[in-house]
Amino acid sequence: MRRRIGLAAVVLLAACGGPPPAPPGTIVVALANSPVNLDPAVGLDEASQKLHQLLYTSLLKVDAQLRVVPDLAVRFETGDSQTYVAEIPPGVRFHDGRELTAADVVFTYRRFLDPAFTSGRKGAYRDLASVDATGTHTVAFRLQAPSASFPINLVMGIVPEGTGPEAARRPIGSGPYRLQSFVPDDHVLLAAYADYYRGPATNAGLLFKVVPDATMRGLELQKGTVDLVVNDLVPDVVHGLRQDPSLAVHEGPGTDYAYLAFNLRDPRLQDVRVRHAIGHAIDRTAIVQFLRRGLARPATGIVPPMSWAYEPGVLELTYDPARARALLDEAGLPDPDGGGPGARLSLSLTTSTDERARLQAAVIQEQLAQIGVAIDVRSFEFSTMLQDVVRGNTELYTLQYVGITDPDMLRRAFHSSQIPPNGFNRGYYVNPRFDRVIEAATAAIDPAERLRLYRDAQRIIAADAPYISLWVMTNVAVARADLTGISLSPIADFAFLRDVQKRN
């Protein structure tokens, strides 16, 4: 029987006219988009996941080196990477006062084993065989096969046993904040939870205002009607706000990764010399400096530089137009008119209608023209563009991965079994050697062996160049100058907000 869940303080409908006035001691944060679903097992959009971090507690978390480490769990261990045991502390309370126990953890994750439960997350748990309480505060996760990458899936909020669809709008968690009101496309108001097991937040609460326009988010910061914006300002707006003495800009290394990809079913792009030539023709430093206003750094691969698994010694296709032209000559694509307007090769580049994406595509188009590669830029609304990419109806395309935390993304992006609709291998890359290495890395139990294999995998991908890495984003928060406690993690999570307060 489903447990009856109610929160008298939750207000779901409010009179028109925008968010309520922020209560004293509340920090006002602007969001570009409204959260879609406040159930952590269902809401996959960025805004929802940011709020999950504040409303719920999670067994594990991601640290500054992108390792998965205990959070709520006081013990987390495995002997064979096939059975994982987590122990939680007693006395942790949900917002309705009930104690969080192993039964709640079991319920949270068994939902993914229920054929009737609908969630975009379910694919990540396909190797999960069972979840069982082995004590009041101890849970065992058993997998169908060993997987050292499985723990990343335990970085997710725990819901009370019996939670149903009402959690989308009326969530009950055990995190540092509890929900006060939620009006979609308008605001979310959170109040500090006094009984949070690690102690109450330093502020009274958080008011998230939905402000879709980036320029307006900047203006609200300047007016003082918003206190803080995290990663929701375009570089040009951040550049302008740096001049305002009432504001402070905070930066930190991020994990969002931008790339140019090839459709390797195209015979012309199957030649690695052509791919290397295109890589050598793109001036990533100029893109970072002028388009990103310095709020990025040139990327060397999909694994972020701060990751425990990062391999710095990969082949880098540095900007070298002369080398690019020589590679095209070697590939049998000579210059038809000695540097004139004639093209060695003509390709289409698919991108979105987002202004920044279109400007980046235009820069790439101009740079490739310098080596005799003619680019036809085709921009589409994002969902249409993504459909074309998944169906293989592209030659080149640019995209961005957001919040990469685990090197298992290498498998999901490049393993031959991950060609759509099974995964993210949208360029149809196939290399049996890579498949063997990444499969071994996924199953490896010894940390040193796992690291060695992931580094091998990165070297293979860099040499084969199914992607041309463009940049990895710098996280940036712009805040009122009187705010303290701002600290940006590599994944720019919102956990730090419990430490933010205004100077007296």
Instruction: Give me the helices (H) in 32-166, please.
Output: 46-55, 102-110
Before 421, cis peptide (omega within 30)?
A: yes
Closest-CA residue to 157 (of 48, 235, 275, 270): 48
Q: Report domain extents, the chain.
A: 11-50+173-246+481-504, 57-158, 254-474
The predicted structure's pLDDT at residue 153: 94
Closest-CA residue to 396 (of 281, 286, 254, 299): 281
Instruction: Kindly report the pTM of this predicted structure.
Output: 0.86
Indicate the burial class of 354 (C-beta count within 10 angstroms; 0-12, 13-18, 19 or more).
middle
Q: Which of 11-25, 295-309, 375-389, 467-481 comes out lowest in average pLDDT?
A: 11-25
Q: C-alpha distances in angstroms, 473 versus 95, 402, 492?
A: 36, 9, 11
Structure tokens at 460: 């293979």
Indicate the burial class of 7 (C-beta count within 10 angstroms; 0-12, 13-18, 19 or more).
middle
The predicted structure's pLDDT at residue 337: 84
The predicted structure's pLDDT at residue 441: 93
The predicted structure's pLDDT at residue 11: 38
Q: Which of 84-88, 233-237, 392-396, 440-444 comes out lowest in average pLDDT?
A: 440-444
Give the separation between CA 111 and CA 119, rounded to whole angstroms: 9
The predicted structure's pLDDT at residue 137: 98
Percent of the chain with pLDDT over 70: 97
The predicted structure's pLDDT at residue 5: 37
Give the separation between CA 494 and CA 119, rounded to whole angstroms: 23
**What confidence tier does 17 reach under pLDDT thresholds 50, 70, 90?**
low
Q: Is 374 helix (H, G, I), strand (E, B) or coil?
A: strand
Give the separation between CA 124 and CA 483, rounded to whole angstroms: 38
* pLDDT over 90 at 280, yes or no: yes
SS (H, E, C) 295-322: CEEECCCCCCCCCCCCCCCCCCCCCCHH
Average pLDDT score over residue span 463-483: 97
**How do residues 261-271 score in pLDDT, each as one tens digit?**
999 999 999 99
Percent of the chain with pLDDT over 90: 82
**What confidence tier does 450 reach under pLDDT thresholds 50, 70, 90?**
very high
Higher pLDDT, 44 or 202: 202
Instruction: Give me the helices (H) in 242-396, please.
Output: 272-281, 284-286, 321-330, 355-369, 382-391
* pLDDT over 90 at 253, yes or no: yes
Pick the CATH number of 57-158 from 3.90.76.10, 3.90.1580.10, 3.20.20.140, 1.10.569.10: 3.90.76.10
**How do residues 183-205 score in pLDDT, each as one tens digit?**
999 999 999 999 999 999 999 99
SS (H, E, C) 385-428: HHHHHHHCCCCEEEEEECCCCCCCHHHHHHCHHHCCCCCCCCCC
Q: Which CATH class is domain 254-474?
A: alpha beta
Give the separation between CA 288 and CA 299, rounded to whole angstroms: 10
The predicted structure's pLDDT at residue 397: 96
**Beta-ladder partners of 229:** 478
Q: CB-based contacts of 291: which residues, under 8 Å, 6+ apart? A: 235, 356, 359, 360, 363
The chain-wide mean pLDDT, for the chain, equals 93
* pLDDT over 70 at 36, yes or no: yes
The predicted structure's pLDDT at residue 1: 34
- What CATH number has the domain spanning 11-50+173-246+481-504? 3.40.190.10
Contact present, 241 and 51 (Cβ < 8 Å): no
**What confidence tier does 124 reach under pLDDT thresholds 50, 70, 90?**
confident
